[in-house]
């Protein structure tokens, strides 16, 4: 028992605190975003700034570039949500969920796969990046999934489940344990997000049908 306790204490003494702070801020971002609070974006800005440095340090170059992209999205997201909150006179943002056809998603996924393969080839042959293809694929699809979040497309959560599962393997291989735990949490949150957004979409569809029936 004492050996186990010693091992646990030794682990936490060597824990990269910068990564832990980034992890906690990322969790704060997800929780605040789920509540519709615009203060999720400052948390996202700081966490992504930290992860930009962390991923660059372990040569996950595409992940580092992705988080640099998230910095700009955090600023844009705060601006957009602030406008909506001011218009609604509320701290929370009302979600209007939409869904896109399966055939459209299939076409986009195919195009993204070709793009990711091409970028992965460049990273593999002209950079010191580790796991260039997997890192590139998760990055390319994450950029697109972030766009779907901004457009409030229901299926964004399904993209995130796949992206996060692939990222878990990537971070285990790089020894980023706190980040691995974070992405396990993200998988659970993505499943919850899909369920919640699906209910909101179904509710809004019923309301629209009722409105159309009462107002011919």
How does pLDDT run across 118-161, given as a tens digit for each residue? 999 998 888 787 888 998 999 899 989 988 877 778 899 999 99
Give CA separation, 195 vs 56, 155, 157, 199, in Å.
Answer: 34, 11, 9, 6
Q: Is the pTM of this model over 0.85?
A: no
CB 136, CB 120: distance < 8 Å: yes
Mean pLDDT value across residues 161-169: 94
25 Cβ contact list (under 8 Å, min separation 6): 43, 44, 46, 47, 50
pLDDT above 80: residue 109: yes
Q: Around Cβ 145, how many Cβ atoms within 10 Å? A: 23
- Report residue 102's pLDDT band, with 50, 70 and 90 as the boundaries: very high
Tell me what percent of the residues of the chain surpass a pLDDT of 70: 80
- Report residue 87's pLDDT band, with 50, 70 and 90 as the boundaries: low
CB 56, CB 1: distance < 8 Å: no
The rounded distance, in Å, linking the Cα atoms of 159 and 167 is: 12
Q: What is the pLDDT of residue 171?
A: 86
């Amino acid at each position: 028992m004492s050996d186990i306790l010693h091992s646990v204490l030794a682990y936490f003494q060597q824990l990269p605190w910068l990564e832990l702070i980034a992890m906690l801020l990322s969790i704060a971002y997800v929780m605040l975003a789920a509540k519709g609070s615009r203060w999720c974006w400052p948390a996202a800005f700081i966490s992504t700034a930290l992860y930009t440095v962390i991923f660059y340090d372990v040569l996950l170059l595409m992940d580092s570039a992705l988080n640099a992209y998230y910095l700009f999205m955090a600023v844009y997201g705060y601006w957009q949500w602030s406008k909506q909150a001011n218009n609604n006179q509320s701290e929370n943002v009302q979600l209007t969920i939409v869904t896109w056809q399966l055939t459209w998603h299939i076409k986009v996924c195919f195009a993204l796969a070709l793009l990711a393969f091409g970028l992965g080839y460049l990273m593999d042959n002209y950079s010191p990046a580790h796991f260039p293809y997997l890192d590139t694929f998760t990055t390319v699809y994450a950029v697109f999934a972030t766009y779907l979040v901004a457009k409030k497309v229901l299926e964004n959560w399904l993209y995130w489940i796949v992206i996060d599962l692939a990222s878990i393997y990537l971070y285990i291989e790089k020894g980023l344990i706190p980040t691995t735990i974070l992405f396990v949490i993200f998988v659970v949150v993505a499943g919850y997000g899909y369920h919640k957004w699906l209910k909101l979409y179904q509710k809004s569809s019923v309301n629209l049908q009722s409105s159309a029936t009462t107002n011919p």
